[in-house]
Amino acid sequence: MAKSSRASGTVKASAAVLVESRLAPPQLSTTLLARPGLSALLHSGLGKRLLSITAPAGYGKTTALAQFAAQAETLGVTVAWLSLEEEDNDPLLFFRYLASALRHADARLGRSVLAQTAGGSVASTDAISASMLSDLSAVEGPLLLVLDDFHLVHDEGLHRQVEWLIAHLPPAIGVAIASRTRLPLSLSPWRVRNQLLELDATHFGLALDEAAAFLGIVSGAPLNRAQVQALHSRTEGWIAGLQLASLALRESGDRSAFVRDFSGTDRDITDYLGEHVLDSLQPDLRDFLLDTAGLERFSAELCDEVLSRTDSRAMLAEVQARNLFLSGLDRTRTWFRYHHLFADYLRGRSRERPADVSRAISLRASSWFQRHGLLREAIRYAFDGLDFERAADLVAEFSAELVQHRGEHATLLGWLARLPQHLVYARPKIRVGHAWSLAMTRRYAEAEHELRALEHACQESGEDELRYMVEMIRCVYWAHVGEPLQAKAGSETWLKSWPRADAFCTGVVANVLASACCATDAFEQGDKALAIARRSFSETQADYGLAWAAALAAMLAIRRGDYDDALKQARAGIVVVERSLGVASYAGSMLALLAAEICYEQSNLSGAKAFLDIGLPFVDDHGLIEMTTAGYLTRARLLYLAGDSALADTCLLEGESLGHRLRLPRLALILSAERCALRLRAGLIEEAHKLARSYGLMGYGASPPEQPVSNAEDSVRLVQLRLKMSVASGNTGSLTGAFNDALRQASRDDHRAQVARVLVLKAVHHYRMQDSAQALRMLDEALDHAARCGLVHSVIDSDPVVLEMIEAIHVNRGNRQLEGRGLAPDAYLQRLLTAGGRTLSASAAPTLSASADTTAIERLTERELKILRLLKAGLGNRELAQSLFVSEATVKWHLHNIFTKLGVKNRTSALARAQQNSLL
């Protein structure tokens, strides 16, 4: 695509450039007034969670904090400083600056946040703040984080994240926040716990003695006591008012008259600024102040260029010598800014001059910042200069880097809101960045609209660079909205059509293809796509893309049914993430959530919990639902094992609601099916049926399910089989057909784990039909498959009788010759029983013919014991159903479980066995 001549001839700018001067306190004057009382107040805040400083402009908040920071450092406190600006309302930019401030103070801090936001990741503020907290948790020794000018941050989401971060900081870390307005945070929890120090304007006003000393320093000559008292009273100790009065006094011929007439009001001070300060300066110096008023920060080099002069360094020295509210922003005293009050006054005065003058200065500043690679300021001054064409050219030049490599979508959207629409439409590069942002922030309807418009533009322009970018975003879009067939076809076509495309884009599309191959069971093609992705991302050193490739490799292995290889792939990816992005990052969370699911399956519950803790803060933010489902399923299953079934159900319901809200039906379907599965595990058969019917997972009576389930959802098919098994046990023909269909499907798709799981359920069905010998042979075969796949929990969680059947297999093996032994390894049987909380013992384990022992009988649930008591009272199935408020089918299910556990075949024998073992 041809570039506009207005943006040509410049060095390549980077969205990654940060303003270093914002990461350190302003330089302190050597003649700064000492304020021991205020200093003592501030030091009392050391050790507290939050130091809140709120006062209007001109009360010396920044200066006092800079003094406090310097003194704290002498006490061994590490100080991280961040001066905030309006642009920090972009969440990712805010956290990039916050991480940079921490890293500026301690090179070990902020690394993971900077790396992940530099790698094109799209993480929520929840995810980023969690990653930052992980970094801060390793801090040794006291640390103070200072956030200056917090009133400029008005994004409510950032307020919430800052509040959360402060609440969870380690005890050794404190935060000091300075703002002109009341902090938009909930302070009461810290106030109650005495973890808050609040200072306001009353604490920052100068005392009478301090005012006298200050007036003497600034005015150049001491005032008598009465004059000091008058000025102090009228300004109420307001530092800015006293300083302005002092500057006016310096030029006043009659000090007594000045003090007598000075009221101390804002209007009075403004008038004196003009009449006694600005107008008394030499015209050249006054013009310099007015010319630089529109610059947020400036250096001598910048001023020379934008003002077409060569003496800016001397002019800045003169401004500083006259105490005209100039603050140094760095230790080399290269960059400066005016105090807010003075800058506001100067800008007001500069607006009285011809508009062309200010516009010309802004546009020259835009060119200077562009040439030095500072894109945000280049664009800001283009807008200030009302040159929207230039602003649009710059936005077009930088939009791809900003959103694809930085993920700063809010910044781009803010620029677009200020640009006339016809300028945006004329620059497809801007729209490409916009489409990417919309897709990555899950605004899918808007993304679809923008992509269609861009595809039409591609047909008209025929420009290859535009086409391959738009087609790449379309591939990503299909993957995110859960359309694997379109994603697969699109990414295959893209890779063939653009063999010489940018390596980063090639890696992105290859990863999309791998994810689509995973969803469509094209395993070999998926492996080849991942090889392309790894090669492309290695070439560009894009660890974020490599982390995606590792996550997709783990997903492929899970889908195939090789959990050992899946864990190996996930751990290999975590090694990549650790070296640059940090495990507690968006990229790390993809791998952590998958690893948590794998660890749970393999009964490494502590590992599952550890990985889940890393991944949960990001669980709602992933483009592919596999990571999100892994997080919600694993958390719910761990909660259920811990005995909190209600919280487990709530967890699944939250994830299901997310699926509906984001229009991701697969996510909602998988989690709703798991809600039914947990009820089956708890023996709440009627509840499971009712819930399944509401979801369309099973019909009423013998009718088929109302909602067809995609072949891709193996977990949902298993739940449907379990639901069918829990209906009346007499209708075995349709159930056998369902088992055979599921096995054929799993075998055709090469889902080895699914084959094992279906065989386990089929064995359980035969066991319940009293075909015990065939059931155990079938289970032995199923366990052999499961052992090869690395399955544990999906076997023992599938039905309560599985563990008893495994014990029976072991005992029967012990009663046979070695050559007649079964298929599944003994070590694997032991692993399953251990995971299920049982100890393998040949003498104690039940055989098919043996009577149920006391240990087995004690495992009857409360519901089953209640049914036994009702049986003793002579109730039939219908009466039992009415008493328990369940269906007769559910009663039959419970009776079957009771007979199995007691080792009997009818009611009479069950009551006799229960009486014999003192259960009644």
Does 10 have pLDDT greater than 70? no
Measure the CA–CA gap between 261 and 868, rounded to whole angstroms: 99
Residue 30 banded pLDDT, cuts 50, 70, 90: low
Query: What letter does residue 14 receive in the DSSP assignment?
Result: B
With a cut of 70, say whether residue 3 has pLDDT above it: no
pTM: 0.65
Residue 820 confidence (pLDDT) above 50: no
Buried-exposed string 653-681: b where 16+ CB fall within 10 A, e elsewhere: eebbebbeebebebbbbbbbbbbbbbbbb
CA angle, corner 501, sides to 497 and 502, nearest 5? 155
Tokens of 284: 């050249």
Rounded Cα distance between 809 and 815, Å, is 10
Confidence of residue 868 (pLDDT cuts 50, 70, 90): confident
Residue 21 CA to its chain's centroid (Å):
28
**Any idea which residue has 């295959």 for tokens?**
492
- Is the CB of residue 301 less than 8 Å from the CB of residue 311? no
Please tell me the least confidently modeled range out of 220-229, 436-445, 614-623, 779-788: 220-229
- 441 phi, psi to nearest 5 deg: -100, 15
Residue ranges in 708-859 assigned as alpha helix (H): 714-725, 732-749, 752-768, 772-789, 793-796, 802-814, 826-835, 854-857
pLDDT at 558: 94
Higher confidence at residue 635 or residue 336?
635
> Which residue has better confidence, 629 or 61?
629
* Count of positions (residues) in the chain: 920
What pLDDT, on the 0 to 100 scale, is given for residue 360?
A: 92
Give 405's DSSP letter.
I
Query: What confidence score (pLDDT) does residue 481 get?
Result: 84
Q: What is the pLDDT of residue 272?
A: 58
Q: Is the pLDDT of residue 2 over 80?
A: no
What angle separates helix 111-118 from helix 125-136, to the nearest 10 degrees?
Answer: 150
Phi and psi for 698 in degrees, rounded to 5?
-150, 150
What per-residue confidence (pLDDT) applies to 255?
66
Contact 615, 596 (CB under 8 A): yes
Tens-place pLDDT, residues 828-860:
998 999 998 886 554 444 443 333 343 344 467
- How would you label 245-267 residue by residue, b for 16+ Cβ within 10 Å and e otherwise? bbbbbbebeebeebbeebebeee
State the pairing for strand pair 173-179/196-199. unpaired
Residue pair 406/396 in contact by the 8 Å Cβ criterion: no
State the Cα–Cα distance between residues 637 and 625, nearest whole angstrom. 18
The pLDDT mean for the chain works out to 81
Highest mean pLDDT, choosing among 310-324, 403-417, 495-509: 495-509
What are the tens digits of pLDDT across the range 458-486? 887 777 878 888 999 999 999 888 888 99
Q: How far is it between the farthest Cα atoms of the chain?
A: 119
Is 228 in contact with 215 (CB distance < 8 Å)? yes
**CA 879 to each of CA 690, 870, 875, 884: distance values in angstroms, whole numbers, following the listed order:** 20, 9, 6, 9
Report strand pairing: 326-328 vs 336-338: antiparallel
Task: Note the pLDDT tens digit of each residue in 728-752.
Answer: 554 566 788 888 889 998 999 889 9
Tokens of 143: 């640390």
Confidence at residue 269, expressed as pLDDT on a 0 to 100 scale:
60
Q: What is the pLDDT of residue 459?
A: 81
pLDDT at 368: 93
Q: Higher pLDDT residue, 162 or 226?
A: 162
Share of the chain above pLDDT 70, in %: 83
State residue 439's pLDDT score.
82
- Closest C-alpha among 266, 222, 221, 213 to residue 244: 266
Sequence letter at residue 254? D
pLDDT band for position 334 (cuts 50, 70, 90): confident
* Position with higher pLDDT, 823 vs 274: 823
* 188-197 LR contacts (CB < 8 Å, sep 24+): 190/48, 190/49, 190/50, 190/166, 193/49, 194/48, 195/48, 195/49, 195/50, 196/48, 196/49, 196/50, 196/51, 196/52, 197/41, 197/44, 197/45, 197/48, 197/50, 197/51, 197/52
The interaxial angle of helices 752-768 and 543-560, nearest 10 deg, is 30
Provide the pLDDT for residue 576: 84
pLDDT tens by residue, 98-115 = 988 998 888 888 877 776
Q: Which of 300-309, 595-604, 657-666 has the lowest mean pLDDT?
A: 657-666
Average pLDDT (9-31) is: 61
pLDDT tens-place string over residues 373-412: 888 889 999 999 999 999 999 988 888 777 766 667 778 8
Q: What is the reported pLDDT for 115? A: 67
The phi and psi torsions of 918 (rounded to 5 degrees) equal 60, 35
Q: What is the mean pLDDT of residues 5-12?
A: 37
pLDDT of 250 over the 80 cut: no
H or E element in which residue 290 lies: helix 283-292
* pLDDT for 887: 60
Q: Which residue has the higher pLDDT, 170 or 815?
A: 170
Statement: residue 599 has pLDDT above 90: yes
| pLDDT score at 134 | 78
- Residue 232 β-bridge partners: none
Of the listed ranges 278-287, 430-439, 509-518, 704-713, the one predicted with least confidence: 704-713
Express as a percent the part of the chain with pLDDT over 90: 27
Q: What is the pLDDT of residue 593?
A: 93
